[in-house]
Amino acid sequence: MASPLNLLLLSTPVGPLGSGLGGGVELTLTNLCQELGQRGQRLTVLAPMGSELPDVTSPQVTIQPVAGTLQPTAHTQERDCEVLLPGDGVLPAMWDYARRQQQQYDLIVNFAYDWLPFYLTPFFDQPVAHFVTMGSLTTAMDRAIATVANQFPGRIGVYTQTQAETFLPGTACEVLGSAIDLSRYRFCPEPGAALAWMGRISPEKGLEDAIAAAETTGCPLKIMGKIENPAYWQQIQQQYPNAPIEYLGFLGTDQLQAVLGQCRALVMTPRWVEAFGNVAIEALACGVPVIAYRRGGPTEIIRPGETGWLVEPDSVSGLVEAISKIDQLDRWACRRQAEQDYSLTALGDRFEQWFQAILGRRAKTVPC
């Protein structure tokens, strides 16, 4: 067996790991740490103060908390906005730690969707790889990602091809997908009457459309997730005072899968190009079909007519029609798809190959 790699992973600076503010990247990071740790790789995760990885049991994984003001989220900024960096920010503090400690690591892996790590890449002696977790949002980020892709081929990883296509033409990306620990999601053959909606409660997730569809069909809707934008949440509650909805809060995986499994389908209503949609594969693992707008990552996940339905983007009537056809879908087919395509083993293999390719390429170009 090849000797273990020493990996330094830099988490998202928008919130502590475990808070839900980071969205799907928190789950991806958790799963990657668990899988690579079990394979014997040594991982240090730099993350904002208060971070925890409760679902990672591998002793090979340690968290190094870093103090500082959280970074503003990229999806709340205008396309042509300037780069924002709080003076006492956690992001520069994390990269300062990485710079000082870099010789202890074979590879540094960035999970932040922020300009600074891309800009700093050529200044590091050790190789820096970037797992980009959202599609194109700002001009500055598009340029920063394209620059690294051109200067350091193979260093940009993404979730999906659809996501990769949102970046500047010629930005070559490695498509790495996502995965979940299937053993933590129980298959539920007999659901109740409710539908599920899960995710950060923030305008780009389009929750109001799922609520409108619930109101029209009369199907109860269970909502799970972090309220990232309280004003938006309040506004949509006022807009649909009589909709049959129930907000259950931000749930941990064990509770989340128990509720989700009981639902007839997961409804995904992204207004943006969803880079992946981790909630979709969590649903499939429970045997829950997915109804989603035909936009971004879900188009690469859902098999229409088999494990879900893809709907005309932003069409509530399209959602309503798809809801009427849920019973045509086989819940076992959903679970099977999750097992075939989204296991942690497959994710670990893809990431390890990506890391080895970066290190192999570097060994050829950098004399020892």
Give the one residue of 32, 70, 195, 256 binding ligand UDP; rule: CB under 6 A: 256
Indicate whether 283 belongs to the interface with ligand UDP (CB under 6 A).
no
Indicate whether 42 belongs to the interface with ligand UDP (CB under 6 A).
no
> Least distance in Å: CB of 183 to ligand UDP?
15
Of the ranges 3-11, 198-206, 235-243, 343-351, which one interacts with ligand UDP (CB under 6 A)? 198-206
Amino acid at 65: P
Indicate whether 197 belongs to the interface with ligand UDP (CB under 6 A).
no
Give the one residue of 282, 308, 335, 355 binding ligand UDP; rule: CB under 6 A: 282
How many whole angstroms separate alpha carbon 46 and alpha carbon 108? 10
Indicate whether 127 belongs to the interface with ligand UDP (CB under 6 A).
no
Of the ranges 89-97, 231-239, 273-281, 309-317, which one interacts with ligand UDP (CB under 6 A)? 273-281
Beta bridge partners of 211: none
Indicate whether 269 belongs to the interface with ligand UDP (CB under 6 A).
no
Window 6-25: residues binding ligand UDP (CB under 6 A):
20, 23-25
Phi and psi at residue 168, in whole multiples of 5°?
A: -60, 145
> Least distance in Å: CB of 158 to ligand UDP?
13
Confirm if 293 and 267 have CB atoms less than 8 A apart: no
Task: Output the 3-class SS for 312-339.
Answer: CCCCHHHHHHHHHCHHHCCHHHHHHHHH
Neighbours of 88 (CB within 10 A): 10
How many whole angstroms separate alpha carbon 279 and alpha carbon 213? 19
> Least distance in Å: CB of 298 to ligand UDP?
9
Q: What pairing do the DSSP bridges indicate for beta strands 221-224 and 290-293? A: unpaired
List the structure tokens of 162.
């659809």
Indicate whether 131 belongs to the interface with ligand UDP (CB under 6 A).
no
Beta bridge partners of 47: 65
The residue (of 91 and 286) whose beta carbon lies closer to ligand UDP is 286
Indicate whether 250 belongs to the interface with ligand UDP (CB under 6 A).
yes
Give the one residue of 276, 293, 351, 355 binding ligand UDP; rule: CB under 6 A: 276
Indicate whether 198 belongs to the interface with ligand UDP (CB under 6 A).
yes
Q: Give the SS3 label for residue 301.
A: helix
Give the one residue of 71, 163, 278, 299 binding ligand UDP; rule: CB under 6 A: 278
Confirm if 11 and 22 have CB atoms less than 8 A apart: yes
Window 205-224: residues binding ligand UDP (CB under 6 A):
224
> Least distance in Å: CB of 196 to ligand UDP?
10
How many CA atoms within 13 Å lie on the side-chain side of 256? Answer: 24
How many whole angstroms separate alpha carbon 223 and alpha carbon 221? 6
Residue ranges in contact with ligand UDP by CB under 6 A: 20, 23-25, 27, 198-200, 224-225, 250-251, 256, 276-279, 282
